[in-house]
Amino acid sequence: MKTWITYLAATAFGLAATLLFGDSGLYQQIMYTATALFIQLGGFILIPIVFFGFSSGIASLRKDSLGRTFSWTTILWSILSTLVLVMGAALVFRFFPANFPASSSAGSQASIIGAVGAQSLSTLFSSMLPVNPFYTLASSESFLLPIIVIALIFGFFLKPNVEVIRPAYVTMNSLSETMFRMANAYSRFGHFLIFFTSSYWFSRLQNEGTVFVAGRFLLMLIASTLLVLVAILPLLFGLLTRFKVNPYAILYRMLAPAIAALFSGSIFFSSPITISHTRHNLGCQKRVSATAVPLYTLVGRGGSAMIATLSITSLLYAALGSMPSNKVILLVALASAMFSYASALYLGFEVFFITIIALQFLKIDLYGAEMTLIALMPILNGFGTLVDSYVAAFGSAYTCQIMGVKHDSSYRDML
């Protein structure tokens, strides 16, 4: 049975279990523990597949002189998708404003997060070129940038242009294929994981209660997400590919990774599924799937930036009691887009990170009201990661199409 069917069925069972046992403390503890373990399992698969797959993928792209095409298509899609999504969020808020139910006494004072920006930038730059690459491979648990940098360096010099290098290239490519097999198995049995993650997701919302008093805000989030998925991303993809590929086929073929992203809110949990599905369901070559998707976990966070834009403008609307000016909305959108490129530093809290650092950058003091967003983090980060998974899928398909290495994948061959 196809993964998109089993994942939807697991979601339904998770909702039913929460409605029956959601008030039980034991049930919540079991679901929390299982979810934490499964997210760690995603990282266990993701880190080796990124190292082996990215290294062999870069070497293969260099071998066929496709590295430049891969680079400019990835950068173009990253920038365009992020800007288009935050502009779309700004327009949605402008014509369908909603205030977030926050108060200035909520959470903690904003001063406790004053060092987020400086710490994030120092962490980002120190991770660019680690001193001991092998220690980094063993110790990197929640940030892919050092792994990608190491894999990029290895892959650059792994180009099989001389006889003595070819055995190393073949070995690395074989290890990459091994990790893809593991990712395929992870995807096929992912519905068991989705049952626990969706149950925990529903139980958190049920127990928190904020979701029941933020109806208009949630409606704005859902409308924005649907607008992005059914109109903005498909239109952008169609324009860039000259409508040679059906974008709506990508939507349903990548439904399983999107479900995993929604309920986990973790790019580590969903990325192995995304990598596997872009190869089998979208017809992307392994070298593109193994390189483009990991890169988009860092530079393809337009979905998180979009949700952060809606969150900040809604907080401002609630704090001011009136609609923010068009200039303020635009500045918020651009700041969210800019800081989304560093959001991967805070795994599982990308939307919250973008919100906090954008407010600091724009010198907007809400006196701790932004801490109220924590109550809705399952929804905010879930929706953001869901859109991010589709950004990675569309971006991979776009790169394959431009490179001329995309092949048709029949429904029977889908995961």
Specify whether the CB–CB gap between 3 and 11 falls below 8 A: no
Smallest Cα–Cα separation from 415: which of 181, 229, 179? 181
- Residue-wise pLDDT tens for the chain (415 aa)? 888 899 999 999 999 998 888 788 888 888 888 888 888 888 888 888 888 999 988 988 888 888 888 899 999 999 999 999 999 999 999 998 888 765 443 433 333 334 444 445 555 555 555 555 555 555 555 567 788 888 888 888 888 888 888 888 888 889 989 988 999 998 988 888 999 999 988 888 887 766 666 778 888 899 999 999 999 999 999 999 989 888 999 998 999 999 999 998 888 888 899 999 998 888 888 888 889 898 888 888 999 999 999 999 998 888 878 888 889 899 999 999 999 988 887 777 888 889 888 888 888 887 777 777 777 888 889 999 999 999 999 999 999 999 888 777 777 777 7
In angstroms, the CA 89 to CA 101 distance is: 19
Q: What are 262's two structure tokens?
A: 């929604």
In angstroms, the CA 16 to CA 25 distance is: 17
In angstroms, the CA 235 to CA 232 distance is: 5
In angstroms, the CA 292 to CA 213 distance is: 40
pTM for the predicted model, two decimal places: 0.88
Q: What are 411's two structure tokens?
A: 């429904």
* Secondary structure percentages of the chain, helix, strand, coil, to 5: 80, 0, 20
Specify whether the CB–CB gap between 274 and 56 falls below 8 A: no
- DSSP line for 129-146: S-S-HHHHHHH-SS--HH
Specify whether the CB–CB gap between 3 and 257 falls below 8 A: no
Domain 3-405 in this protein, CATH class: mainly alpha
